[in-house]
Structure 1
Amino acid sequence: MTESSPLPGMIEPELLVATCRADGQILSRNDAWIRILGEDDGIWDRLTESDQKIAEQNFREACQGSLVTHALFMAIRPDRDLPAPVLLHFIPVTSSSDRTSGGGGLVAITGEILAEPDSWTENQTDRHRMATLGRMTMGITHDFNNLLGGILGHITIMETDGVLARSPAELTEHISTIKKAANDGASLIEKIQRYIRQEKKAVFEPVNIATLIHDCVILTKPYWYNEPRRHGIQIEVQYDAPDHIAVLGSGPELRDVFVNLILNAVQAMPEGGQINISAETDNKNMHISFRDNGTGMTEDVRTRIFEPLFTTKTGRGTGMGLSVALGVIQEHDGSISVTSEWHKGTEFKIVLPLQLDFPVSVVKENDPAERTSASILLVDDEEMVRNMMSRLLTLRGHQVTSCESAAEALLQLEDKSFDVILSDQGMPGMNGREFAENVRGRFGNIPFVLVTGDTNIDVDTQLISRVVSKPFKIEELDFVIHELT
């Protein structure tokens, strides 16, 4: 991986660095650390009282070998009236023998202050904040992908084990809604990652509008059914759409638009009412209508409704929902319009082009009788993710050996041969890329799959056979395994 220089005009923040023993002895602190967090005997003395406890906990976790990143603290500074935000990473510098013997090794703590110097210009400050937001977002997306992967993985286990088939229909419906919400969350994270990596939008897929409308009605049911009834208000939702007709687009993005329109309609009916959703087609387009008999809008509001930051929800709205909806529909080569009459109701009309002869790209599902069992070495430091993946792969007929670190996995490789290795990227001690280098140098060309939630995925294809992004569908991962074995 090559290093690149910062873009012209970019502000590079000072790096805070300290090194400590597991017993708390401070070995070193650089000048930037001393300026921001001081050189007192207690390394956390400059943090607020509540943050001192959290920092101590993060430090203990790092002493046990866990990598703790993007921890945000508030530092008390003599030169400022208010505490300044500091972003820290706790990096264990330990060996497996250290942890086994209880020695704990060392912990390196790095970070940066997120407050900007008073001497900076407004332009410098804005650039620094955007760069900082990008770095924080990359770390958050990794953690969030792991959480979504756990949710989706356990739902898949329930489906595979037949738990849902034996469950009441109402529970199955709730689980299905949770699964759709988690998948949408994963798609949103993927969109953020593509933006950070400056990639183009994902290829659109066929979206069944009837199914999408049904999903949105179920997803919003707590808002139009449960909550209003607690206050003696009745809202009815009726919908109708031709089945087996699709548009080419992004299901999660269109779902966001539809959900936003339903919630807007609910908020426009404080005394109850009815929402009607319908869809019909002509030879070229799908016409979708969201109509309510709520309070309606004045002409002035109607003409401004798609403007960014314009909102009629004082203290409750951001004014971005409908402007984002407009952008999504335009991205789908469609249009959205609104008609409204004060005290009578509102109707939003969406027009999307039909795609009658669209190419369908799917992952081929292997017939159970045709599947071959593979011996898999699975490496991930997150226990929840590791256990979930192990169980899913076992249900697919594979033999799985799980390890929580690359060092432990290398010991397994000395005693046993494997058909394929599945490894996380961000692990303490030795990350996925370093693990792949060790495997290739010591054990030859074992297929190596990096399964990661990281945003920046820059790999050497000579070392790593495939990259699978978290959260994944087990069918996709299984397909990759069968291709490599």
Structure 2
Amino acid sequence: MYNEIDVKYIKGAFWGVLNSSILNFRKNYLKNLVLNIIENDGCFIYVYNFISQLHTEKEELEKCGLVIDELIKRGQLIFISAQKKYLKEGVLQVENIVKFYEKLINNCYKKGYKKVIIYGIIDDFYNDKMDLDIIYEYHKKIKKFAKEKEIMIIKEYLIDNFTEEYFYRLVPLHDVFIIINNDSVNVFQIDNPNEIELFYKYLRILYLDKVELYKENKKLELLNELILDISYKHNSRHLLESALEKICKVVNADFGLIFTYLDTDFNLESIIKYNLPYEIDKYIANQTLDKNRFREEFKQGIKIYDDSQLENRLINQLGIKSLVKVPIGKDENNPIAFLILASYNSKQHFYHHMSFLKAIGNTILALLDKQKQIEKHQADLLRAEKFKTLGELAGGIAHDFNNILTTIIGLSQLLLYQVQDEKIKKNLEIIYNSALDGKAIVNRIQKITRKRVSSNKKAILLNSIVETSIDMARPKWKNIYDVKGREFTLVKELNSSSYIYCDVYEIREVILNIILNAVDAMEDGGKLTIRTYDKGNKAYVCIEDTGCGIPDEFKDKIFEPFFSTKESRGTGLGLSIAKNIISSYNGSIEVESKVGVGTKFIISFNRYQKGGKYTDEDSILPKFNGLNVLIVDDKAHVAYSLKKMFRIIGIESDIETNSNNVLKRLSKKKYDIIVCDLAMPKMNGIRLSRQIKSIRKDLKIILMTGWPNDLDEQDLSEIEYIMHKPCTIKEVIKAIKSVIDKEKKLGGKENVVN
């Protein structure tokens, strides 16, 4: 045996090199040989199986300072594709290969190159193309060819692809064998009895190392597969099922279990099973798992048990010899899962895999955390897609709902001006305020669907909002408690004198939502206390019930979207919306609760400081004299409610439900103002306004729409005013005044407002 520095060109020699695709160290001995051959007018022939080998070899030779293209042109450097020259229809052609090389070597000699080396690699390229007998015969021929032509042939074998039997049969054909092991290169003379004996010892060690390396490689492959699994597994359970099966196969466990936990108290979430014996599966199903035992074992870390330590009678009956428990968690106080593997072999079986099992525990922990993030992301995407669909649907619903609310608001408001009976008037106020709240809800839907709507903020007495909220909630608790015969007490202590600047419908929605939640919490009756008071520059609303209370673990979640303790009865949006509304006014909403005692919500507002009190409704309505209005809306009930509103303020109006008939009506009667809906089936309000203006430039057009900010500037060129549906009498008056103010003399008429 001698070192690589002694490796020189030898005529007629057939050398073998044993290497590994895993180690694959660069071959300095080859570099020295090639340089020696090229410098001494020789020829180097490199046979490659894959194009990647060709690129790699060229790069290595260029690093040696060789000019590849020039050497190829001179014929000193020859690259040959085994795919093209060795095979015919996928079969190795031994005779043809020898003839090809004979012709090639003769050509090299004619050019004056006396030293020739042929270098090739035997790897998995040949696995399905020849058996051991064929390659043995092939090697016998090329050994003979090397001697006859006085050239040197070197074959590199990748140990990964061949068995010991393979090498034991091929080794005697070689003159010299080189073993590359880690950083050392050992050269053996095969015809030397001492060296051949040493060579076979080396070879045996390499194959034993290969087996262990293979096992470790399989473990690394498993870790890689687990990491790849997360990209397509649907959820954590599927990931764990795949992981458990792979782990059992790699460590040769006969069956396995993974217990996953919901919390640090070891409350069981699920049990993942692989190849579990029926008897054990049945035993687990009928047993209450000991949380304290799991907690103690979790703190112990990875632990292996043999049959002498396994006290369970069923385990002994089944012949289980060893068992390993692997805790999976961030630390001993934060359990995520417990991996249990069992084997019918001895305890020593799992000791060989201790490092791997620790690594797999950490890997599963990281993957579960990542999987939960992916699941949350997928849920968020799904929720976003649902919201998008809901938004599109809500947009259409909002438009239709606006038409309904226009009628309810208009007619209820008209009745409020006409009815004298206080009891009826009180009920009408509830209907009217409920419809206005419906309008506010539509506005919020429009905001969600990215349609901006105008704000309706004003200064209003806080107590008046609370009073109307109580009136609107009263029918619900009367229905619940009267039907069930439960006792219910309402305590009102409205001591605030403050005004707040707000959209009254939004604040009423918040208060009403909390009151209704309190009623839901007191199914068997109770006491509801509602207080208002002032403190410093803040005004407060306090709503307190004697209901079931909120558990401590839920207090931080109640304002989160979609969190609900009402199960199917709630959406989980009420308090989330309430918090967002209050926050938008720079206010605060806090909760105090105790299970079995009750819950208290405290809402704070900034007090309105400007002077002058606000009257919610003007008691005196203006009268408009001599105006003729045409109402154009395909919804007859909407048009009718508008007609009634116009009448109460002294305006005569006609109704047209077919937009195609408008121009004909204009030819028969002179109108001062047209109030026109935007969305109509035959001709929308924009097109109609353009046609009207083409014949009547002086005619004023008020456009009604539920989407006032969804119009382009060019669409508004023929429009004098946009009125947001649903509209109140005050908004109708504002629209008419706006049109009149734009031109003091409207169609030659003066003093149209009294």
Place the TM-score, normalised by the shorter chain, in its bin. 0.5 to 0.7
**Structure 2 length-normalised TM:** 0.45
Structure 1, 298-307 or 320-329: larger mean CA deviation: 298-307
Structure 1 unpaired stretches of 5+:
1-120
| Identity in percent | 26
Give the Cα separation in 2 of the matches to 1:289 and 1:342: 19
Cα drift, residue 446 of structure 1: 1.0
Equivalents in 1 of 2:592, 2:379: separation in Å? 42
Counterpart Cα distance in 2 of 1:140 and 1:262 = 27
Q: Secondary structure at the match of 1:346?
A: strand
Instruction: Give the aligned partner of residue 334 of structure 2.
Output: none
The residue correspondences of 1:132-151 to structure 2 (distance < 5 A) are 132-151=389-408
Calculate the TM-score normalised by the size of structure 1: 0.68
Q: Deviations over 1:31-60 (max 9, x none)?
A: xxxxxxxxxxxxxxxxxxxxxxxxxxxxxx
Name the CA shift for 1:484/1:200 in 2 (closer, same or farther; >3 Å).
Answer: closer
Q: Residue in 2 aligned with 1:372? A: 625
- The DSSP-based 3-state class of the residue aligned with 1:223 is helix
The 2-side partners of 1:422 and 1:187 are apart by 23
Match of 1:233 in 2: 486
Aligned residue in 1 for 2:681: 428
2 CA distance for matches of 1:391 and 1:410?
24
What's 1:16 paired with? none
Q: Secondary structure at the match of 1:221?
A: helix
Q: In 2, Cα distance between the equivalents of 1:363 and 1:135?
A: 34
Aligned counterparts of 1:432 and 1:214: Cα–Cα separation in 2: 40
Partner of residue 729, structure 2? 474
Confirm or deny: 8 A CA contact 1:278 1:290 kept in the other structure: yes
Paired with 1:316 and 1:363, the residues of 2 have a C-alpha distance of: 35
Aligned equivalents of 1:174 and 1:123: distance in 2? 43
Separation in 2, partners of 1:236, 1:131? 43
Aligned-partner Cα distance in 2 for 1:286–1:333 = 12
Distance in 2 between residues matched to 1:318 and 1:216, nearest whole Å: 21
SS of corresponding position for 1:304: coil
Residues 1:331 and 2:331 aligned together: no
* Structure 1 residue 426, shift from structure 2 partner: 1.5
The amino acid that maps onto 1:483 is S
**In the alignment, which residue of structure 2 is the partner of 1:156?**
413
In the alignment, which residue of structure 2 is the partner of 1:462? 717
The separation in 2 between residues aligned to 1:239 and 1:314, in whole angstroms, is 30
- Residue 654 of structure 2 is aligned to residue 397 of structure 1: no
Deviations 1:54-78 (A, max 9, x none): xxxxxxxxxxxxxxxxxxxxxxxxx
| 1:200 to partner: Cα distance | 7.6
Deviation at 1:370, TM superposition (A): 6.1
Paired letter, 2:408: I
User: Larger deviation: 305-314 or 126-135?
Assistant: 126-135
Distance 1:244 1:358 in 2: 13
Distance 1:247 1:214 in 2: 15
Change (3 A) 1:334 1:363: closer
> Could you tell me how far 1:274 is from its partner in structure 2?
0.6
Aligned mate of 1:176, from 411, 429, 441: 429
Do the aligned residues in 2 keep the contact of 1:205 with 1:360 (CA within 8 Å)? no
Q: Is the 8 A contact 2:460 2:500 kept in 1?
A: yes
For the 8 Å contact 2:674–2:702, the answer to whether it is kept is yes
Contact in 2 for aligned 1:152/1:182 (Cα 8 Å): yes
The reply on whether 1:305 has 2:558 as its aligned counterpart is: yes
Instruction: Map 1:17-28 to 2 at 5 A.
Output: none
Measured on the aligned residues, the alpha-carbon RMSD in Å equals: 2.8
In structure 2, stretches of 5+ residues that fail to align are 1-377, 741-754
Distance verdict in 2 for CA 1:444–1:320, change over 3 Å: closer
> Helix, strand or coil for the counterpart of 1:402?
strand
Alpha-carbon displacement from aligned partner over 1:149-180 (angstroms, at most 9, x marks no partner): 011111122233x2x21x3x433222211111
User: Which secondary structure does the structure 2 equivalent of 1:381 belong to?
Assistant: coil
1:342 aligned partner, one-letter code: V
- How far 1:189 sits from its partner (Å)? 0.9
Q: Structure 1 residue 416 and structure 2 residue 673: aligned? A: no
CA distance 1:458–1:298, shift in 2 (3 Å)? same
Q: Contact 2:413–2:432 at 8 Å: present in 1 too?
A: no
Aligned match for 1:256, one of 509, 521, 542:
509
Looking at structure 2, the residues matched to 303 and 346 of structure 1 have their Cα atoms a distance apart, in angstroms, of 14
C-alpha deviation, 1:124, in angstroms: 9.1
Q: Which letter does structure 2 place at the counterpart of 1:294?
A: G
Distance 1:462 1:297 in 2: 56
Determine helix, strand or coil for the equivalent of 2:699. coil
Which residue is 1:349 aligned to?
602
In terms of fraction of residues, the more helix-rich structure is 2
Q: Contact 2:626/2:651 (CA < 8 Å) preserved in 1?
A: yes
Q: How many residues are paired up?
A: 361
Q: Corresponding residue for 2:440?
A: 187
Q: 1:275 aligns with which of 521, 528, 552?
A: 528
- In structure 1, the residue matched to 2:639 is 386
* Secondary structure of 2:716 counterpart: coil
1:12 counterpart residue number: none
2:704 corresponds to 1:447: no
Following the alignment from structure 1 to structure 2, what is the Cα–Cα distance between the partners of residues 308 and 126? 11
Q: Residue by residue, what CA displacement relative to the aligned partner does 1:349-399 show, whole Å, maximum 9, x if unpaired?
A: 112111211798999969667633311122111110111211221221112
Q: Could you tell me whether the CA contact under 8 Å between 2:489 and 2:527 is conserved in 1?
A: yes
Q: Which has the higher contact order (CA 8 A, sep 6+)?
A: 1
